[in-house]
Chains A and B, each alone.
Chain A
């Protein structure tokens, strides 16, 4: 029996393959995700363990326990004299001090701009490279040597390669001091890692680093190695007593683990994010599989009945169908697993295209990846194939002697609408609970949303067979004319080579471009000629009367063919619905994201426009990390703008809670920033002094702070100040430009050692003009990490950044849409197969091949349009729901009409594309054989 089942599978290779693809893509996504994130994890674990390979304990300053968005500021430095103290401790064999700054060292490009790190650290090291201290050094110099004097530097190999710097070149680097030129004396890598992602580093001598990074007489860390036979813990215990209160010592193992944990936390989020898309693809795949199996089982009714008559039991039928799904699932999962390796590269490439370089090491292919991929892939195939398998057992033996036997209706068929209705209701309740219950944890909330959406999709899919008829009636003319429009629009593509050649011969433009166009055109030309020739030959050989003069593009809506196609779509509503449902999910999710993010974009723009009154905005190159405060001062000193005001920003503790602290200029801020006061007014600003603060209304509510309350601010430099809250303002929650707790710049600068600006705003007299702008850019030219933009440019860029992220989401969702396309192809192929006789009959009574193709295409387009018709409103509905749940961020609800129209067109194109292969197969059928076919 097993061999019978397997032979059956072999006999339907195409179907099995098309079915398998649905799983292959999803599993590939899973395995790719794991491979990628495991590799990143491995890279960092290697990095940290290698860094501490020769170290037993690390002494650092004692930092505050601050955590903002999961990130903690680096530990403060310790006094350099501590090194000698540590060296004197019994049991210490070796110790060295290091300077390490994570964000102020920017290597410049040849054009004088900072190499963009997209928020990744830009390390500046001061390392004692004496040979006897080599065991502490996490870096390996690949070429050249370590710096020996203050004007020499070693940089990381990644940056050196990207920028084309080689040993001996002069490289400009900006630090906390104005930018300076250094001689590149070597390139190095971190441990054995090829790439640190976007992060870069520059290594100076210790005195140079201390000066450049403003740490005179200080080290950021002291690495200690113990004498032989002394354990890490003993060493820590020995050092602890000699340290002042401001310093602490931890074992190297603990330190490495801490850092590994921190990174793992990040990759875990990344992993789940990617797995969500894998899940979506698999969910869509489950629909495709369910549908394919259902159709195949229906078509094999006769076969199952025959098996029953010659003695097969229900259990054997069930087993054989399940075995088929098992084999397909297993094979597809294996292929997907392998494809995952490629996909990991693909995702990495996608991130690189977005400017995010991921750290790399050798690909990690963990056993866990294999197991998860196989279990999930096989599990989903089995689950999706189970219901059709059960239906196969319902085939009565007598079906073997009936002509055109159809699958008996499932016993549960009458209940399906009820079940579907209940599923939708339950889904809505679950969604509502997830959205509107306040005390739910984030994980619970997300799980509920996921479960609700899943259930909603299932319910809608079950119900959608009831809307196929009306929707098809509406879709039919749309599909008909859409196919026509499509053909008319794309027909001229045939002429492309001639255009190109004409342009090459007579067109304007550079010689290179013209030659390129001509050659390209000439190359394309024979290709087109070949296609035309083949088409003509086929016509000639098969002696079909050419019909094209009458119906030039070949898809002019044709009553008979299109109507038959439309009616075919209605013939088996549940099949059409299930096929459309696969596409519906993809379209719904795209519509969901389009609608939600459109609202965010509108809110973003509004938030910015409401708050900013300045003509110009200075930010760091990436737009969000704070930059050197001196840049703002330089702009002010240029005296070009009428007014310059900077907003300082850094993390700190306010009454013991982590918070972002802002430093504003009381006399100027109101000219550039529009406060929306809740309590108090602009006149308060003048009174801030060093004892008062204004806080955002959100902060005041969350932390129960009222006007007149005194709060204690503690900076990362461990200085404290008591301030009285005198006013609250209400920034747009979607994008507040100011921090939640704002003090005067005077107080801020006294709290922090190296204050940094989040914004510098400038107003010019009269209208902004290019001359002003050039002079202002000149003024900040010494700060290569900064950029100056007009208010409009800045808003545009914020939009563009956002669009990039949305594009990324779209690309990831494409996978699910892809799966549904294969589902459509599959259904059409099966339908054609099933209707072999009917198509033969239509051909026999005079339907041309062209009309047969058109008929299949029409059916496909209608299916796709039904998917769009159900998916679009569903996506918008989900967006509205989530929008409502995110009410505290005050996101606008704005329907992106353009995107939705585009999406509908995409659906039609998908329909046209999916029909290509099945339509050709149908048209190829020989009418005689089709009729004789049994």
Chain B
């Protein structure tokens, strides 16, 4: 939605990330190059320790690569200072977390509009209401997170991520803390926001059913992208995962 032209929204080139030093050093990523396409849901899969979370953190500007470059909406982010990164996050990046990360003292509405509050923008007429309606929270707006179920909390979190119309939305194991029924509802909601609003989204998951909702699935193992699939079913994804593990 935001961003320039039709090219990829996020471009990572030869990204490597090493933690620690000397003999105990761990290479979480070893030269990953990837392009995230506009208005598509890209899933990143891989076994534990494959580097999928690290990749997402680096793409989102939460972590810096040891080498390589990352551009979000045409801006090279690996060299940005904290203030520029903050501005970039406001305009281009949204997050959905595994543990929801809502502010406990704010009610649902306040949590949703928080990004706008922070950036000092006025919510666009009807936009907040539309999102709230779409995520199905119209009657829960005055509730605090502690009064909401896990699924409802994640809906609030998704609405919060969508409200600022970010160029790219990163979802980190969005169903990891939910039961399967609720998880499915959340996944459908995410997919709908890609289809209906044209929201670009990157989702890190180790749940094959979640990945099956994506337009494209990237498989990571040992810090490298080893496979890539287009839209496919969970069964196929599990097969690939087993191939990788073997």
- Which chain A residues have a beta carbon within 8 Å of chain B's beta carbons? 1, 3-4, 7-8, 10-12, 302-303, 306-314, 316, 396-398, 400-401, 403, 934
* Contact partners of B90 in chain A: CB under 8 A: 311
* Contact partners of B161 in chain A: CB under 8 A: 310
Contact A310 B97, CB 8 Å, known A4-B106, A303-B103, A401-B53: no
Residues facing A in B73-106 (CB within 8 A) are 82-83, 86, 89-90, 93-95, 97-99, 101, 103-106
Cα-based distance from A303 to B118 in the complex (angstroms):
14
Contact A314 B86, CB 8 Å, known A7-B105, A306-B103: yes
Cα-based distance from A934 to B61 in the complex (angstroms):
26
Contact A397 B119, CB 8 Å, known A4-B114, A7-B106, A306-B101: no
Let me know if B164 is at the binding interface, CB within 8 A: yes
* Contact partners of A306 in chain B: CB under 8 A: 97, 101, 103
- Cβ A401 vs Cβ B114 within 8 A: no
- A516, chain B: closest CB distance, angstroms: 53
- Cβ A314 vs Cβ B82 within 8 A: yes
List 12 A-B residue pairs with CB atoms under 8 Å apart, sorted by A's residue number. Answer: A1-B118, A8-B105, A306-B101, A307-B118, A309-B101, A310-B160, A313-B83, A313-B86, A398-B57, A400-B62, A401-B53, A401-B97
- Cβ B86 vs Cβ A311 within 8 A: yes
Beyond A307-B103, A310-B95, A401-B98, list 19 extra A-B contacts (CB 8 Å).
A1-B118, A4-B110, A8-B105, A302-B101, A307-B118, A309-B93, A311-B89, A311-B90, A311-B164, A313-B83, A396-B62, A397-B61, A397-B89, A398-B57, A400-B62, A400-B95, A400-B101, A401-B53, A401-B172
* Contact partners of B57 in chain A: CB under 8 A: 398, 401
* Contact partners of A401 in chain B: CB under 8 A: 53, 57, 62, 97-98, 172
Contact A4 B117, CB 8 Å, known A312-B86, A934-B99: yes
Let me know if B188 is at the binding interface, CB within 8 A: no
- B57, chain A: closest CB distance, angstroms: 6
- B154, chain A: closest CB distance, angstroms: 13
Cα-based distance from A934 to B102 in the complex (angstroms):
11
Cα-based distance from A400 to B56 in the complex (angstroms):
13
3 A-B pairs with the lowest CB-CB distances in the bound complex, closest first: A11-B105, A311-B90, A398-B62
* Contact partners of A12 in chain B: CB under 8 A: 105
Residue of A nearest to B163 (CB): A310
Cα-based distance from A401 to B82 in the complex (angstroms):
18
Task: Report which of A7, A8, A310 forms a contact with B118, defined as CB distance below 8 A.
Answer: A310
Let me know if B228 is at the binding interface, CB within 8 A: no
Task: Report which of B97, B115, B164 forms a contact with A400, defined as CB distance below 8 A.
Answer: B97
Which of A8, A311, A403 neighbours the largest number of chain B CB atoms within 10 Å of its CB?
A: A311
Residue of A nearest to B121 (CB): A311
Let me know if B63 is at the binding interface, CB within 8 A: yes
Task: Report which of B82, B83, B101, B117 forms a contact with A1, defined as CB distance below 8 A.
Answer: B117
* Contact partners of A11 in chain B: CB under 8 A: 104-105
- B111, chain A: closest CB distance, angstroms: 10
Residue of A nearest to B99 (CB): A934
Contact A309 B63, CB 8 Å, known A4-B114, A314-B86, A316-B118: no
Residues facing A in B111-164 (CB within 8 A) are 114-115, 117-119, 160-161, 164
Cα-based distance from A160 to B86 in the complex (angstroms):
77
* Contact partners of B97 in chain A: CB under 8 A: 306, 400-401
Residues 46-62 of B, flagged 1 when their CB comes within 8 A of A and 0 if not, give: 00000001000100011
Cα-based distance from A307 to B90 in the complex (angstroms):
11
* Contact partners of A10 in chain B: CB under 8 A: 105
Residue of B nearest to A6 (CB): B105
* Contact partners of A1 in chain B: CB under 8 A: 117-118
Residue of A nearest to B89 (CB): A311
Residue of A nearest to B150 (CB): A934
Cα-based distance from A403 to B53 in the complex (angstroms):
13
- B157, chain A: closest CB distance, angstroms: 10
* Contact partners of A403 in chain B: CB under 8 A: 99
* Contact partners of A312 in chain B: CB under 8 A: 86, 118
Cα-based distance from A4 to B106 in the complex (angstroms):
7
- Cβ A309 vs Cβ B89 within 8 A: yes
- Cβ B83 vs Cβ A8 within 8 A: no
* Contact partners of B89 in chain A: CB under 8 A: 308-311, 397
- Cβ A310 vs Cβ B114 within 8 A: yes
